[in-house]
């Protein structure tokens, strides 16, 4: 009985055990043997024997990878060629600008009189310095530290670099405007010298009585009147005659043997050269003014900033007008006693120059002495009288240098004023960022008013330089 029961249990166990090879799936793959269906290869295979991948697709992916690598190499090559083109183009532009700079320099020297050449030489020296400063700023703001400093201070890495770009643009525009002003003054100086030479052919005896009365009226005029009213050309010529007469008398020269107009032309050239040369002291003063303006600018809104800048622009012609009035008063006060002496030597209503026999003139066919060199006399330091220099600002120590120091700020300040006005305030005004409630024609009218100070500066500087050439060198 026990043996029969054991035999039945063994038979049942044998019937429930799986048979190897008897569990094929729907594709006929025997799973018990480790086979599974691979659709890409369309067959049964064991995963550890071979990967279930289509060789065609693998080859296609490899080809795509190769094409991608080739495309990256082509893009890198194109980028390298583009950078090379940019470098060559930039270098070509720099060479072109340098050539243009030199050609302009040579052209101006060739077409400028000898007396006005110092201003061209001095101007290009200052432009070279400004160009070096601009290049230094460009390189500094291309480094990483401006971005890091901007990120640390403002939380934005672009503020300080963008500010550097703006400063670079302003500096470039200042250079262009300063160049235009200097060239204009040099051209104007040639005309002034020609005017003086035309006056030199005249004499005191041909001065009209009406001109004498106008000169006497100027002796009691205020600085405001002298600055706002243009002098009559005949009065200018009268002061030229009287100054030449006194100048030759003090230096024991005869007007017939000395070219006073050429002497003044040399003095005018030196004055213009000093005007475009900005010394260290002027740069320091300008830096102090800009720092003060920066502090004030941080306290104002856009509208107040623009109005303050326009007011600062009008301060420039005011300064130039004050210098012009001072120089005119010096000339009037200097020539007033000379006019009285000339009247005393002549008859009523007529003038007579002082006789000077220290230089022998051509008489009765005698040989004429060689004329005295104006440049040699220009290097002398003899004054028309011992106290003449006290008429200038700052007393006897600086003489006329302080007056020229003040006048030097006007063209440089006007160049900076125009550059910032055109690059900062004019776009904001036209686009409506400032005075947005005003119509466009009113904003354009305000812009026209803002452009007026440089025009006034040009007029005052032109007149002041002419007067300084006489007042500062006799």
**Mean of pLDDT values over 460-465:** 87
pLDDT at 356: 47
Among candidates 181, 189, 188, 137, which has minimal Cα distance to 419?
181
Tokens 């072109």 sit at which residue? 96
Q: 231 — phi, psi (to 5°)?
A: -75, 145
Share of the chain above pLDDT 90, in %: 2
Instruction: Count CB neighbours of 427 within 10 A.
Output: 11
Which band of pLDDT confidence, cut at 50, 70 and 90, is reported for residue 452?
very high
Is the predicted pLDDT of residue 370 greater than 70, yes or no?
no
| Burial profile 241-250: b = 16 or more Cβ within 10 angstroms, e = fewer | bbbbbbbbbe
Which band of pLDDT confidence, cut at 50, 70 and 90, is reported for residue 314?
very high
pLDDT at 211: 83
Which band of pLDDT confidence, cut at 50, 70 and 90, is reported for residue 468?
confident
Is the predicted pLDDT of residue 377 greater than 60, yes or no?
no
Q: For the ranges 60-69, 96-105, 290-299, 337-346, which has the lowest average pLDDT?
A: 60-69
Which band of pLDDT confidence, cut at 50, 70 and 90, is reported for residue 8?
very low
pTM: 0.67
pLDDT at 16: 47
pLDDT tens-digit readout, 206-226: 778 888 888 888 888 888 888
**Mean of pLDDT values over 10-38:** 64
**Mean of pLDDT values over 415-431:** 86
pLDDT at 125: 74
**Mean of pLDDT values over 250-256:** 75
**Cβ(458)–Cβ(184) under 8 Å?**
yes
* Alpha helix segments (H runs only) across 219-358: 223-228, 233-250, 260-276, 280-297, 302-345
Name the residue with higher pLDDT: 263 or 250.
263
What residues contact 380, with CB distance under 8 A and at least 6 apart?
Answer: 251
Q: How far apart are CA 320 and CA 385, in angstroms?
A: 27
pLDDT at 360: 40
**Mean of pLDDT values over 148-154:** 80
Share of the chain above pLDDT 70, in %: 76
Which band of pLDDT confidence, cut at 50, 70 and 90, is reported for residue 240?
confident
Is the predicted pLDDT of residue 364 greater than 50, yes or no?
no
Is the predicted pLDDT of residue 358 greater than 60, yes or no?
no
pLDDT at 230: 77
CA distances from 121 to 428, 438, 461 (A): 38, 47, 20
pLDDT at 346: 62
Is the predicted pLDDT of residue 54 greater than 50, yes or no?
yes
Is the predicted pLDDT of residue 306 greater than 80, yes or no?
yes
**Cβ(211)–Cβ(232) under 8 Å?**
yes
| Average pLDDT of every residue of the chain | 75
């Amino acid at each position: 009985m026990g043996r029969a029961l054991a035999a039945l249990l063994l038979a049942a166990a044998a019937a429930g055990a799986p048979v190897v090879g008897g569990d094929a799936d729907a594709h006929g793959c025997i799973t018990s043997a480790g086979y599974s269906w691979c659709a890409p290869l369309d067959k049964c295979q064991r995963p550890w024997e071979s990967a279930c991948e289509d060789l065609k697709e693998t080859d296609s992916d490899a080809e795509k990878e190769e094409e991608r690598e080739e495309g990256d190499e082509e893009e890198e090559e194109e980028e390298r060629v583009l950078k090379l083109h940019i470098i060559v183009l930039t270098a070509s532009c720099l060479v072109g600008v340098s050539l243009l700079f030199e050609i302009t320099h040579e052209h101006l020297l060739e077409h400028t009189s000898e007396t006005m050449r110092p201003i061209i030489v001095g101007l290009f020296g200052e432009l070279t310095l400004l160009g070096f400063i601009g290049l230094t700023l460009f390189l500094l703001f291309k480094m990483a530290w401006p971005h890091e400093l901007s990120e640390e201070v403002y939380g934005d890495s672009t503020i300080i670099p963008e500010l550097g770009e703006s400063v670079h643009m302003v500096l470039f525009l200042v250079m262009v405007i300063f160049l235009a002003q200097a060239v204009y003054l040099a051209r104007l100086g040639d005309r002034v010298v020609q005017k003086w030479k035309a006056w030199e052919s005249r004499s005191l005896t041909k001065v009209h009585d009406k001109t004498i009365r106008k000169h006497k009226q100027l002796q009691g005029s205020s600085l405001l009147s002298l600055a706002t009213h243009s002098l009559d050309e005949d009065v200018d010529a009268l002061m030229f005659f009287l100054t030449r007469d006194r100048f030759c008398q003090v230096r024991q020269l005869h007007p017939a043997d000395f070219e006073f107009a050429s002497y003044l032309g040399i003095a005018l050239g030196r004055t213009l050269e000093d005007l475009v040369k900005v010394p260290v002291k002027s740069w320091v003063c300008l830096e102090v003014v800009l720092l003060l303006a920066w502090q004030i600018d941080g306290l104002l809104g856009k509208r107040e900033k623009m109005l303050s800048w326009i007011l600062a622009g009008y301060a420039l012609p005011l300064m130039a007008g004050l210098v012009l009035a001072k120089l005119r008063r010096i000339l009037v006060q200097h020539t007033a006693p000379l006019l009285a002496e000339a009247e005393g030597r002549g008859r009523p209503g007529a003038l007579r120059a002082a006789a000077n026999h220290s230089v022998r003139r051509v008489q009765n066919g005698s040989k004429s002495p060689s004329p005295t060199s104006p440049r040699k006399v220009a290097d002398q330091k003899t004054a028309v009288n011992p106290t003449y220099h006290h008429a200038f600002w700052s007393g006897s120590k600086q003489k006329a240098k302080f007056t020229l120091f003040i006048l030097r700020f006007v063209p440089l300040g006007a160049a900076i004023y125009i550059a910032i006005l055109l690059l900062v305030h004019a776009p904001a005004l036209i686009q409506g960022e400032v005075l947005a409630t005003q119509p466009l024609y009113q904003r354009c009218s305000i812009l026209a008013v803002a452009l007026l100070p440089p025009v006034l500066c040009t007029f005052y500087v032109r007149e002041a330089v002419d007067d300084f050439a006489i007042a500062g060198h006799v």
